[in-house]
Structure 1
Amino acid sequence: MECTCCGACCVAPDIAALDKPLGLRCPHLGADNLCTVYDRRPQVCRDYAADEVCRRIEAPTLEERVHNYLALFQLTAEAQAVRESGCASMRMARAIRERK
């Protein structure tokens, strides 16, 4: 499958190499939904390839694609908790989760 450059893979999943929490936009994702650090992106981003998940979450907007991704993996509630807690990093999100 060819990448559509929708940006969902830079928003929906957590990305440990970038300390990016689940469901939050990567700080390196530009307004055009392209990576602003593409030439020096971490290996996990380099290794990612469009696959069946991309087809399954397809939708007209990035917001809808992210919603579909989180629902597909049953992560909607966890992502909502991250957003509500205001966590800007995975480390912060894990610390809050561990206190509960």
Structure 2
Amino acid sequence: MECTCCGACCVAPDIAALDKPLGLRCPHLGADNLCTVYERRPQVCRDYAADEVCRRIEAPTLEERVNNYLALFQLTAEAEAVRESGCASMRMARALRERK
């Protein structure tokens, strides 16, 4: 499958190499849903390939695609907790989970 540049893979999952928590927009994702550091992006981003998940989360808006991704992997509650707590990094999100 060819990438549709929808941006969901840069928002929904956590990305350890960037210390990006679950459900938050990658700081390198531009307003056009394209990577602003594409030529220097981390290996994890280089290795990611569009797949069946991309088809399963299709929706008109980025927010809907992200919500579909989180629901598909049963991560909605965890992502909401990250957003509500104001976690800006995976380390902060992990510390939050460990306190519960």
By the TM > 0.5 criterion, same fold? yes
The residue number in structure 1 matching 2:26 is 26
CA distance in 1, matches of 2:75, 2:96: 17
**Aligned residue pairs, count:** 100
SS at match of 2:23: coil
Instruction: For residues 13-43 of structure 1, give each alpha carbon's deviation from its aligned partner in whole angstroms, at most 9, with x where no partner exists.
Output: 0000000000000000000000001011100
CA distance in 2, matches of 1:22, 1:39: 24
Q: CA deviation at 1:45?
A: 0.1
TM-score scaled to structure 2, two decimals? 0.99
SS at match of 1:88: coil
CA distance in 1, matches of 2:76, 2:17: 22
Identity of aligned residues (%): 96
Provide structure 1 residue ranges, at least 5 long, that are not aligned to the other structure: none
CA distance in 2, matches of 1:52, 1:66: 15
Q: CA deviation at 1:90?
A: 0.2
The residue number in structure 2 matching 1:88 is 88
CA distance in 1, matches of 2:67, 2:99: 27
The residue number in structure 2 matching 1:7 is 7
Q: CA deviation at 1:99?
A: 1.3
Q: CA deviation at 1:92?
A: 0.5
Report the aligned-residue RMSD.
0.4
Provide structure 2 residue ranges, at least 5 long, that are not aligned to the other structure: none
TM-score scaled to structure 1, two decimals? 0.99
SS at match of 1:24: coil
CA distance in 1, matches of 2:67, 2:58: 10
